[in-house]
Structure 1
Amino acid sequence: MKSSQQANSFNPSYYVGIGASAGGLEALQAFFRTMPKDTGMTFIVIQHLSPDYKSMMDELLARCTDMSISIATEGMVVKSDHIYLIPPRYNLMIFHGNLYLEKHNVQKSNHLPIDVFFRSLAVDQGKKAVAVVMSGTGSDGTLGIRSIKEAGGMIMVQDEGSAKFDGMPKSSISTGLVDYILPPEKMAEELLNYTRHPFIQKSKSMEVNMPQNMDTLAKVNLILRDYSGIDFSYYKENTIARRLERRVSINKCQKLEDYLEFLVESDKEKDVLYRELLIGVTSFFRDVDAFQCLRKEVIKKLVKEKSIRIWSAGCSTGEEIYTLAMLCLEEKQKINADCEVKIFATDIDRHSLDVASQGFYPDSILSDVHPELLAKYFTKVENGYQVKEEVRKMVVFATHNLLKDPPFSKLNLMVCRNLFIYLKPSMQQKILNMFYYSLSPGGYLFMGNSESLGEMSEGFDTINSKWKIYRYKKGFQAPIMNEMKALEPQKQGQVKGWTPDTDQRKTKQINGFGDSIIQAVLPPSVVVDGQDHIVQVINNMNPFFEVKQGRFSQLLFHHLPSDLSIYVSGLLRRLRQGEEAMISENISELEGYPEEQTTIEGRKFLLENTPYYLISFRREPVRRVETKSLEIKTSVREALNQRIEDLEKELQVTRENLQATVEELETSNEELQSSNEELIASNEELQSTNEELQSVNEELYTVNSEYQLKIEQLTEANNDLNNLLNNTEVGAIYLDRKLCIRKITPMVTRITHIRESDIGRPIAHIATLSNYPELLTDIQQVMDALKSVEREISTENGTWFSRIRPYRTAYNAVEGVLITFVDISELKLAQADLDESRQKLKAAEERARSHKEDS
C-alpha cells in the first residue's frame, strides 16, 4: 500500500512542454528561476540542437533551479518536479508517461522537434498538457499547439518584445489559439494560478444540468449570438461548459456568474470565446490511412467521370481541402483523365476562410506533406509554403452556416469531418438529412472517425466503416427537413445570396409595411430588396408569375415571363440610379396577354437605411382607340426596339474591345509567366540555401549562448585563482612544453630577474637567480622523470623554498612545468632560535648531570 502511494506521488499533475530555439537559453533561465521546485508538474524542454554538439543546458539550468535535471533516454519514466532535456540528433515523444526517442531522418534538412513532441503530448495527456513556446526563428510549434488546443490543453507564448528572436512566438500567436502571452519571468505565476483553479482541479465543476447554470449558458449563447450572429445553442452543453471552464480559470474568475459579468463588458473576451468555440483543428493528410482509403475507394472512381463536384463543410483553414485537391490531381494524372474538378469549401468562420483562401502555411507542414507532393504543389516562400495556383483555382471558398443556409446540390462527394462531435444529436440528423438530398445518386459521404450516421444509416451503404466512408442509397425516404432557426450576422456583415430564413425583426417590419399597403388597396405587387430577392407579395400575383422547374429561387426574375422581365429590369435599373418612382404604361403585345395592356409602376423606399422596391402590376383590356393613339403606341414600340438595337450594338463593340484587351493581356501574361518561372526556380534554390543557413545559424546561436556562459564562469574562476595567488604571496612560474614562460605571479618579480615583459621567452634565455645555478638542470630533470624537485634558496631578500613539478591538465597530460617559491625566512629564523634553545637546554642538562655525579 505504501509503495503504491509513493508511486502515485511521482505522477505529474501537468506535463509542460517547452519549445525554445535561438535566444531561448535566457528565456528558459528566467522561466525556471521563478518556478518553485515543488509544483507537482514535470517540464520537458525541446530545443533545436546541433547534431555534433554536446549541450551544456543541464549545467546551465542547474544554476537557476533546484529541480532534478536529466537528459531524456529511451523509455525514461516522467516524474513530477523534474526537468527533462532533449538530446541532440533525436526527436522526443511521450507515450503513457514515458519518453521515447526517434533518430532524425538524415534526408530531411528541416527538423521540427517541437511540433513532434507537442503532438504526442496532446494525444498522450489531453487536458493535462501545457505548451510553452519561447524565443526562436521559424514556425516550429505552430502545428503542435493546435493539437494541444484541440485536446483541451493550455498554451503559453513568450511575448514578442522580450524574445530575442520573435519568429516562433509570432507564428504561434497568429493562430489565435494562445491563452497567455507573457515574458518568461511572469509565466510561472500564471501557470500556477491556472493549474490550481478550482475548475481546473475539478474541486468545482460546471454542472450543466443545474438550472442556474443552464440559465447562465443561455445568457452566454445570447451574448455570442448578438456579437457574432452565430447561435451556439445547437452545440453540446458539455462542449460549451469545458470551454467556459478554461476561460473562467484563465481570467481568474471564481464563479461562472463573475465571468458572465466580465464577458458582457469585454468585446475582446467575446471574440476569444467565439474563436474558442469555433476551434477548427486540422492538418494536411490528417489520418493518412483515411485519405488513402478515400483515394482508393472513391476518388479513383470519380475522376473517370467528366466532372466532379465536392463540398467540404467546416473546412477551417483549408488543409483538408487542399489535400483533397492534390489527391484528385494525382489520380487524374495517373490515368490521364480529362475530368473537371470543382471543390466548394465552406465555413462559418471568416478568419479561417481568409487563411484558407490565401493558401499560405508555415514550414511546419513539412511533417505532414510528402516531399514529392510538397515540391509538386507548393511554392517555397519566406517563412512557409504557398499552395500553387493550379490547386487553388480548383477550390471556391465561401462563408456558409450549415444550420440555416441552403446546401449545394448534385454533389459527387460530401466531406464533413470532426464537426458533428460538437453538435447536438438532433442537429446532426437534420444536417445529415440535408447532406442526403445534396448528393447525386451514387455520391459519397466522408465523415470523421468519431462520428456516425445515427438514424440516417439506412440512407447510405457503408464503403469503409473504420474510416467512415459511405455511399448514397437509392429509395431511402428521408424525413422532411424542418426549418432550422438561426440568425444572420449583424455586426460581421450579411451573407451574400438569399437564405430561407431572414431576420425576424426585419420580417415583421416588412409585413407591417405590406399590411399598410393592402389597406390602401394596392394592385398585385411585390417588394424586392437590393439583390432582387422577393421579400413580400401583396395581393394575387399569379397572373404575372411563372413557377419554373428545378430548385425554387427567391429571385424575382426567375418567376417573371421573359418579355415582362425586360420592362421590370429597366424600371428597377432607373430606380437604383436615383429615381424615386417610375411607371411604364399601356404595354401591349406581351406573349401571355395578347388582348390586354399592362402597366408597371415602381417605387423606392428605405427601411432602416436599407433600400427596398415596390413593383405594382395592373392589367386592362385593349381599348379600340383612334388611329392617332395607335400611331403613338407604335412609335413607343419602335423606340423601344431601337433602344434595344442600340444597346446590342454598344454591347458588341464593348465585347470586341474587351477581347482585344484580353488578347494583349494574355500575350503579356505569357511573357511574365516565363520570367516568373525562372524567378521561382532561382528563388527556390536561394530559399533552400537560406533554410540550411538559418538552421545552422540557429544552432550556432544556441551553442554560442552556452559558450558565453561558460566563458563567464571561467573568467570568474580565473579571477578567483589570481586573487588567491596574489594574496598568499606565493611566487609561481608557469612554463609550457617548450619551457617558455607562460604566466608568472607578482611575487616572482621580487625574487628573480623575470618581468611581465618576459612572458613568451624561453627561461633558458634569462638569468633568473645567481645563487640557483641548478635551476635549468632541475627543470629538465622534472620534464624527463616527471618527478618533483625541491630546494632551499638563499637570496638577498631571505630564504626561499623552491619546488619544481610537472604541470598536469584535467586529463593528467603533462603540458609543461610549474615552479613555485615560498618564503621560509621567518621559518628559518624560528628554526635557528629553536636550535639555539635546544643547545642551551642540552648544556643545562649536562651541567645538572655533572653536578649530580659530583655530589
Structure 2
Amino acid sequence: MPPPETVEAVDENDEVTPAETHPPASGRLLVVAIGASAGGLEAFTDLLDVLPPDLGIAYVYVVHQASGRDSGLAEILRMHTAMPAVVVNEELPLQPDHVYLAPPGIQLSVLGLHLVPTPRPTDRTQYTPIDALMSSLAKALETCAVGVVLSGTGVDGSTGLREIKGVGGITIAQDPETARYDGMPRAAIATGSVDLVLTPPRIAEELQRIGRHPYVRAAYARRPGDELVIHQEHLLRIFTMLRNTSGVDFTHYRPPTIRLWLPGCSTGEEAYSVAIALLECLGEESSAVPVQIFATDVSETAIEHARNGLYADSIAADLSPERLRRFFTKTDGGKYRIAKAVRDLCVFARQDVTRDPPFSKLDLILCRNVLIYMGAVLQRKLMTVFHYALKPSGFLMLGGAETVGAQADLFAVIDKKHRIFVKRPIETPSDFPFPVEYNPSRSSHRAPRLPAEMHTPHSFQNEANRLVLDRYGPPGVIVDENFQIVQFRGKTGLYLEPAPGDAAQSLNLLKMAREGLLHGLQTALYGARKSDRPVRKEGLRVEFNGAGHEFVLHVIPLSAPGEGRHFLVLFETAGTSEAAHEVTSAPPAPPVAA
C-alpha cells in the first residue's frame, strides 16, 4: 500500500478529450430525467441555453400536459439546443446527445436502454408521470441515473428522486426561490433525497461537470450487473485521507448496524425468514455487516416458541433443498431447528406494541397483518410510534390489506402494491402519548397470575386503578437487581427513552435515562441496593425537548416470597407532594407472607 502522500486526487474540473465524452458501445449511458409542471418550460429552456450539446448524455423531459393537444413543445425546444428533440410515440433506443419528450397523455418508462411509451392510466390513481419515469430509470440504470425536478405544483417527482438517490444516482432540484411555482421543488427537497439545489443555468453547468468527469465515465462504463467493490486497502486509504483532512480517525469505528423491528412476530417464522433473506442478499459480505432484528409479540408462549427456533418437518414442503440445508439442522425427533447463524441475528422479546416503549433508530419496521386487528384510534397511535422509531428515511412495510390511513403526512408510499412506505422528514408529533401505560413482566420468570377480575377487559377495578395511577400517582418503573425494567407504571416518557442496541440493553434503566438524570439515578439505585433501604434525592433536573424539569427521585426496595429483590423507582414532580417523603423515610416493609 503506498503512503498517503502518494495518493492522487482527480480535479473535478479536469477536461477530457472528445473521444472520452461518449461511453463505449458495451457501456452504460448516463440518462437525465427532467420533470416539470407549471412554469417548467421557462426553466428548462434556461437550462438548455447553457447546456453543451455534446456531453454524451441522453435527456428525457416530462411535463404535465393535457391529453389530446399538441403543444408544439419539440419546436420550442429546438430553438434552444442543437440536440435533436424527439417525441416518443413508439419504443425507441436511448441515444446520447438527444432530448426525448413525452407526447400529451403518454407516460414514459425506461426498460434497459429503451424508452417505452404507454397510455396515461385510466383508473383513479394519481397521475404522476415524473415519478413513473424516474422510478423506472433508477431500476434500469442505477448509478447512471440523474433526476432533476423543475418548477411546478404538487409533489410529482419526489418519490422518483428518492428512488434514484437510493440506487446511488444523482438528484437535483431547482432553487425554489427561482421557480415560478415552487411546490414541486420544495416537495422534492423535503424528502431529504436531493443532492443539489441550483438555478437552471447552474443545473446545466453541473450536468456538464458530471458528464465530463472521469469518475462518472468510469462508473457508467461498467457493465450492467457489475458491483462496486471497495477493498479493505482502498477503505484504509480513504480513512487516511479523511484523517489528514478532518483530524478524525475512522479506522476503528464499527460499521453501521442495519436494525429491523418486527412487532407481532408470533412464533418467529417471519423474523427468521427476514434474517435468511438478509444473509442471502449480503452473501460474502454478511460477516462484515452487523444486523439486528428485534422480533416482539404480546404472547409469551409464542416468544418462547420463536426463541427455540424448532419447527415441524412439514416446513420442508415450503423450502428449497438449498435453504433447508444451509439454514436448518434436523433434530433426533425429526423436526428442523433454525441454524445458529440465523438465530444470532434475531432478538425475541415480549411486548405489547400498543403500550410498551418502541425500539429506536430503526432502518425497517415490518408490521404485517397486525393493524387489521386494531381500531382507527389505535392505528393512528401506532403510526406515530412507528414514525418515532424509524431513522430518517427509514421504511415501513405493512400487510396486503393495511395502509397508513390518515397518517399519510408521516409516511410516503414507495411501493403501493407491496405496502412499502418511507418515513417523511418531519418531526414526530411531540404530543403523542409515549406508550408505557401497560405493565408486562420483563423478567425471565413467568409473570404471576393476576386475580381473575384483573383479566376482565372492562373490569371496574382495573379502570379505577388506571385512573388513580394516571391522575394522582407519580410515574415510575420496577427494576430487578440488575436494574433491568420489569414493569412500567404511568407515563415515564419525560424521564426515560428507549436506548439503541439489543433488547436486554434497551430495557436497562440506566441506559434509558434522559439527559441530566443518569448521575442522580445511578447514585440512588446503588445506594438503595447496598443499604436495602429507601433512597430519596431532591433537586434533580432532567432535560426534555430543550427544557429542564425539576423532580424528586425515590428508589424503594421491594421483596416478595420466591422472587428476587426488586426496586420501585418513582419520578415525582418537585413540590407536588410531601406524602412520598413519609413513605420513603419509613423502614422497608416486611416480606409478604405466603
**Larger radius of gyration, structure 1 or 2?**
1
Q: Which is helix-richer, 1 or 2?
A: 1
